[in-house]
A and B are shown apart, each in its own frame.
Chain A
Amino acid sequence: MSSVELEKDGALMTLSMGPHHPSTHGVLRLILETDGEVIARCTPDLGYLHRSIEKIGEFVDVGQFVVYTDRVDYVCAMNSNWAWCLAVERLLHAAGLPVVVPERAEYLRVLAGELNRISSHLVAVGAMAMDIGAFTPFLQGIAQRELVNDIFEKLCGARLTYNYVTVGGVSHDLHAGGADEIARFLDTLERELVRFNRLITANAIFRGRLAGLAPIGAADAIAYGLVGPNLRGAGVDVDLRRDEPYSVYDRFTFDVPLGDRFAGVNGVQGDCYDRFVVRCLELFESIRICRQALAQIPPAAAKADDPIGGWQADVTKHTRKLPRGEVYVRSENPRGETGYWLASDGGKTPYRVKIRTGSFTALSIFEKLIPGLMIADLVAVIGSLDIVIPEVDR
């Protein structure tokens, strides 16, 4: 968070967009220098939501820190929990400790993670359409997200910050009837997505509005650290669930959609429409993964720490003191690759926690990408990059 000195040459107008502008998806301030409607310079000003979660991580133990990872990215809290627990488990494994996550817990993590990816992508595509002026798709997305929240509420009692994935498993087994409920939801969602795509994705006005807008090439996308759907929208074929499968992702069949000039003749690979469509296609892939997970999940066992049918391994004696070592663990979150760098000097709490999030690096391309666009286009670009501010500021 800082004040910025701008040149006062009289020709440009300085416009402060945010921090309370609804289309900045949180408290982000963009300092624009505009010539009429055209932006000459764009300087993101962040930090309004900085809580120093990395510092907190040095004072709480690894189990307590799961609660804070909820707040790193509350649009996909399940995936944030999971990424942190994955880092801790990998450190424990590196020290040779026998921490075995039960098979059923791994499937529950996949189900929770993919359902949260669905709800996160629904918010992303719905909010992007709303920012441009189409309100109905947003309501369609939010209505489906409510159903995911209902499932999560029965699963773990919370609707937004779940604290569900724990070191060594998950906090609760699937509730009675949960599998049927998820299967019914997936069917409903599939029907609704067809309606959603007919209304907005295939809409000629919407497509024409976004075609060729703010394209990001593959080399730029890598150099500026874009990850996830933003990187795949630029045509870079990367998905950690497929390339470096963690958990049980190696047991599922799914495709990795890439940006492919979906907007037609006026489109450019990696434009806003490509990023939008990649998210819409990933929704269908998540449905596929959830269905396979439901078919493969082992039946519940009586004991929570059963290595097949349990849901929570007993890790308390292994996490009282962390092994002396460090790991950097990447996982595929809805907003792309999230990295947790965990260093421990053998104490009770981590020595250093560094959280690398997709939204923070996505903001770094703004100063290059935005100049020359119109103010209304900036709103579309923010939506297409799916920036979530708590994840930026941490």
Chain B
Amino acid sequence: VSDAPAVPAAPAWTKPPAQPRPPRPAGALDHAAISALVRERFPDVLDERLDCGEPWLRVPAEQLLAVLAFVRDDPRLACTALHCLGGFDWSRFAPPPAPKPPAKTAPAPASAAPALPPPPGDLGCAYHLGSYALRHRIALKVFTPRAAPSIPSASALFPVAGYFEREVFDLFGIAFPGHADLRRIMCPDDWVGHPLRKDYVYPESYGGVLLKRAGQRFDEGPYATASAEAKS
């Protein structure tokens, strides 16, 4: 027990209220509603997701332009903005961990989602589209085989896709038939390989300039760790 005068406690902090905002537009849809609309029109489109996070629609490459035109022009979707177009190389994406054997007392999962057919390849593009008026968004993915990667160009529908696709062409080596000006954009024209592919081999030199210090290796250290993990 101390004789020091009690310090008056500071008033407890209270959470400030949310400020009024313009209401969410009546036509704003969630992923399930958008997925239903798209799949009603295009039955080959698949609804996919990983263990957590955001779902996407897997679109066959030959239907991509029709689906993009549909989500852009249908007044219920009105996704006029292409927020992001990015390539990916799914070849070393680790499969989900094997499910634990269910405990004997636990009932078997009643309705496990049916396994989706494997995609036609492991390279591809992800399209993140959105509507500024309706304030919803949607993600599409297109897979394409590694042997001859090719996805129709969306640059006629979304002019901004022209630059995004040049980047994907440069860094992943995916061709975009229909693109008016498909050139490398980040790397020099005579660069060898596509750096964002998972099997990319770092060059020893470029234009007579050594890119590695003497004795430096890219197959050890964090690079080796990451690739070994991805392989296992």
Given the interface contacts A223-B159, A345-B93, does A298 sit within 8 Å of B195 by beta carbon?
A: no
B189 x A3 contact (CB < 8 A): yes
Given the interface contacts A95-B52, A324-B52, A337-B83, does A364 sit within 8 Å of B223 by beta carbon?
A: no
A299 within 8 A of B: yes
Interface residues as binary, B37-66 with A (CB distance below 8 Å gives 1, 0 otherwise): 000000000000111111000000000000
A339 x B128 contact (CB < 8 A): yes
Kindly identify which residue among B96, B189, B196 contacts A324, using a CB–CB cutoff of 8 Å: B96
Kindly identify which residue among B10, B53, B84, B196 contacts A94, using a CB–CB cutoff of 8 Å: B53
Given the interface contacts A222-B132, A252-B19, does A326 sit within 8 Å of B86 by beta carbon?
A: no
Q: Using Cβ atoms and an 8 Å threshold, which residues of chain B touch A91?
A: 52-53
Interface residues as binary, A199-210 with B (CB distance below 8 Å gives 1, 0 otherwise): 000000000000
Q: Using Cβ atoms and an 8 Å threshold, which residues of chain A touch B184?
A: 1-2, 47
The distance from the CB of B129 to the nearest CB of chain A, in whole angstroms, is 11
B104 within 8 A of A: no
Q: Using Cβ atoms and an 8 Å threshold, which residues of chain B touch A346?
A: 51, 94, 96-97
A52 within 8 A of B: yes
A46 x B185 contact (CB < 8 A): yes
Q: Using Cβ atoms and an 8 Å threshold, which residues of chain B touch A243?
A: 21-22, 135
Residues facing B in A86-109 (CB within 8 A) are 91, 94-96, 103
Q: Using Cβ atoms and an 8 Å threshold, which residues of chain B touch A224?
A: 159-160
Residues facing A in B178-216 (CB within 8 A) are 183-189, 195-196
Which of the candidate stretches A20-28, A75-83, A278-286, A348-356 sits at the interface with the other chain?
A348-356
A326 x B54 contact (CB < 8 A): yes
Q: Using Cβ atoms and an 8 Å threshold, which residues of chain B touch A127?
A: none
A328 x B132 contact (CB < 8 A): no
How many interface contacts (CB-CB < 8 Å) are there between A and B?
Answer: 160
The distance from the CB of A253 to the nearest CB of chain B, in whole angstroms, is 5
Residues facing A in B143-175 (CB within 8 A) are 158-160, 162-164, 167, 171
Bound CA span A346–B92, Å: 12
Interface residues as binary, A122-141 with B (CB distance below 8 Å gives 1, 0 otherwise): 00000000000000000000
Interface residues as binary, A1-25 with B (CB distance below 8 Å gives 1, 0 otherwise): 1110000000000000000000000
Bound CA span A95–B53, Å: 7
A314 within 8 A of B: no
Given the interface contacts A223-B80, A252-B19, A296-B16, does A360 sit within 8 Å of B163 by beta carbon?
A: yes
Q: Using Cβ atoms and an 8 Å threshold, which residues of chain B touch A352?
A: 86, 88-89
Given the interface contacts A94-B53, A223-B159, A224-B159, does A236 sit within 8 Å of B94 by beta carbon?
A: no
Q: Using Cβ atoms and an 8 Å threshold, which residues of chain A touch B187?
A: 1, 47, 50
Q: Using Cβ atoms and an 8 Å threshold, which residues of chain B touch A363?
A: 163
B84 x A354 contact (CB < 8 A): yes
CB closest residue in chain B, given A353: B86
Q: Using Cβ atoms and an 8 Å threshold, which residues of chain B touch A323?
A: 51-53
A55 x B195 contact (CB < 8 A): yes
CB closest residue in chain B, given A93: B52
B53 x A308 contact (CB < 8 A): no
The distance from the CB of B47 to the nearest CB of chain A, in whole angstroms, is 15
A146 within 8 A of B: no
The distance from the CB of A66 to the nearest CB of chain B, in whole angstroms, is 16
Kindly identify which residue among A52, A236, A324 contacts B51, using a CB–CB cutoff of 8 Å: A324
The distance from the CB of A9 to the nearest CB of chain B, in whole angstroms, is 19
The distance from the CB of A389 to the nearest CB of chain B, in whole angstroms, is 12
B13 x A364 contact (CB < 8 A): no
Bound CA span A59–B196, Å: 12
B88 x A325 contact (CB < 8 A): no
A50 x B186 contact (CB < 8 A): yes
A242 within 8 A of B: yes
A250 within 8 A of B: yes
Give the interface centre of B80, B86, B183 by most chain A CB atoms within 10 Å: B86
Bound CA span A238–B183, Å: 33
Bound CA span A347–B96, Å: 11
Interface residues as binary, A248-279 with B (CB distance below 8 Å gives 1, 0 otherwise): 00111100000000000000000000000000
B94 x A341 contact (CB < 8 A): no
Q: Using Cβ atoms and an 8 Å threshold, which residues of chain A touch B132?
A: 222, 236, 238
A54 x B229 contact (CB < 8 A): no
The distance from the CB of A234 to the nearest CB of chain B, in whole angstroms, is 11
Q: Using Cβ atoms and an 8 Å threshold, which residues of chain B touch A121?
A: none
Residues facing A in B105-160 (CB within 8 A) are 126, 128, 132, 135, 139, 158-160
Q: Using Cβ atoms and an 8 Å threshold, which residues of chain A touch B51?
A: 95, 323-325, 346
Kindly identify which residue among B49, B81, B135 contacts A222, using a CB–CB cutoff of 8 Å: B81
A63 within 8 A of B: no
* Chain A interface (Cβ < 8 Å from any Cβ of B): 1-3, 46-47, 50, 52, 54-55, 58-60, 91, 94-96, 103, 222-225, 236, 238, 242-245, 250-253, 296, 298-299, 308-309, 323-328, 330, 337, 339, 341, 343, 345-349, 351-352, 354, 356, 360-361, 363-365, 368, 393
The 4 lowest CB-CB distance pairs between A and B, nearest first, are A325-B53, A225-B160, A354-B86, A325-B52
* 22 pairs from A and B in contact (CB 8 Å cutoff): A2-B184, A2-B189, A3-B189, A46-B185, A52-B196, A55-B195, A60-B222, A103-B13, A243-B22, A308-B13, A324-B52, A324-B96, A326-B54, A337-B83, A341-B84, A346-B51, A351-B92, A351-B230, A354-B86, A354-B126, A360-B167, A361-B164
* Chain B interface (Cβ < 8 Å from any Cβ of A): 10, 13, 15-19, 21-22, 49-54, 80-84, 86, 88-89, 92-94, 96-97, 126, 128, 132, 135, 139, 158-160, 162-164, 167, 171, 183-189, 195-196, 222-223, 226, 229-230
